[in-house]
Structure 1
Amino acid sequence: MDMVNWPRVGCGAAIFNAGGQILLARRKRDPEAGHWGILGGKVEWGETVEDTVVREIEEEAGVKIRLTGLACLVDQIADDGSSHWVNAVYRADIVDGEPKVMEPEALEDMGWYDLDNLPGPLTRSTEEFLKTTT
Structure 2
Amino acid sequence: YRAGKVELELVPQGNLACRIQAAGMGLGAVFTPTGFGTLLAEGKETRHIDGKDYVLEYPIKADFALIKAYKGDRWGNLVYRKSARNFGPIMAMAADVTIAQVSEVVELGGLDPEHIITPGIFVQHVVQVA
Q: Same fold (TM over 0.5)?
A: no
Query: Which has the greater radius of gyration?
Result: 2
Q: TM-score, normalised by structure 2?
A: 0.27
Structure (1/2) with the larger helix percentage: 2
Higher RCO, 1 or 2 (CA under 8 Å, sep at least 6)? 1
